[in-house]
Structure 1
Amino acid sequence: MTDHGSLAEEYFRQGYNCAQSVLLAFSDLTGLDDDTALRLSSSFGGGLGRLREVCGAVSGASMVLGLLKGYSDPDDREAKKAHYHLIQELARRFREEQGSIVCRELLSGVQKTDGGDPEERTAAYYRKRPCPELCRRAAQLVDEMLTDFS
């Protein structure tokens, strides 16, 4: 079985944003080619374009669950309800473990700006950020939920 958590962490360390890292880690299950996965999730890094809103790892995990367990019929209220409950459960589990699903709160203690240009990925950047581990854990939660809700 693929270790999606390790893949997500490694992708982040390669320079992909948190949402890209998580979505790309699941390409074996989603069937998305890398370019499509990376472009689709590119806007969600840094809590949506570095606005520090919902953590990109959570957004990426939500995209995976949407691709694998989502709905497509706007009139299927039960499927919509079930999917929203699934995403709410993802958020609950992540928040319970990490304290928040909000990027700026997860980065408390790290000098950050809301918006602006991405920072250069240096050794110091990785030492001060929880992001690689958050990507790992978001991907692991998806795996757990795919088992729990299969």
Structure 2
Amino acid sequence: MEKDQFIEEVRHTAEGYFERGEFFCSEAVVKTINDMLDKPYDENVTKLASGFPVGIGKSGCVCGAVSGGVMALGMVYGREHGEAMQEKMFPVSADLHDHIKGIYKSTCCRVMTRNFEFSSPERKSHCIKITGEVAAYIAEKLYEDDKLNKDENN
């Protein structure tokens, strides 16, 4: 599968989880990336992302999709006890933050959604789009960093 098609498939998968109500933003990103990586973590890893939607437990702070995205990046660039921090972990996380901020002018949930009534279909659609953007961005970075099994994805 070519790169652009692969990235769009990842985007669509993450958006679908949120749109169908199976997961919220952070959970959809973590589930999608874990599956994309051929499940290096048990299915229960998605539970770790369950407190981040709507800006960390509905507090309206950091966008849940971004929080889930940073967690997903940790699947590849994170470290285990006793290991040194991987050189790319901080820059790739900051790049995700900057990418989303560049598009939406913020990474704060309440700012990113301020023009929408919370329970409206328009707000949900907006958040689905952000979720897909985060998942697609991560997929592209992992693809470019050769962190995927290209035989299976090409």
SS in 1 for 2:54: helix
**How far, CA to CA, are the matches of 1:30 and 1:19 in structure 2?**
19
Q: Which residue of the other structure, out of 20, 24, 28, is the alignment partner of 2:27?
A: 20
Is residue 135 of structure 2 the alignment partner of residue 127 of structure 1?
no
Q: Percent identity?
A: 25
Q: Which runs of 4+ in 1 moved over 4 A?
A: none
**Contiguous gaps of at least 5 residues in structure 2:** 147-154
Q: How does 1:1-150 map to 2 (within 5 A)?
A: 1=1, 2=6, 3-15=9-21, 16-26=23-33, 27-29=35-37, 31=39, 32-34=41-43, 36-73=44-81, 76-77=84-85, 79=86, 81-112=87-118, 125-129=120-124, 130-150=126-146
Q: Please name the residue that 2:152 is paired with.
A: none
Contact 1:23 1:63 in 2 (8 A): yes
CA RMSD of aligned residues (A): 1.9
Cα-to-partner distance string for 1:60-109 (whole Å, 9 max, x where unaligned):
111111011212245625x2x53111101111111112211111111011
TM-score by length of 2: 0.78
Q: Supply the AA of the counterpart residue of 2:111.
A: E
TM-score by length of 1: 0.80
> How many pairs does the alignment contain?
136
Q: Supply the AA of the counterpart residue of 1:21.
A: A
**How far, CA to CA, are the matches of 2:142 and 2:36 in structure 1?**
14
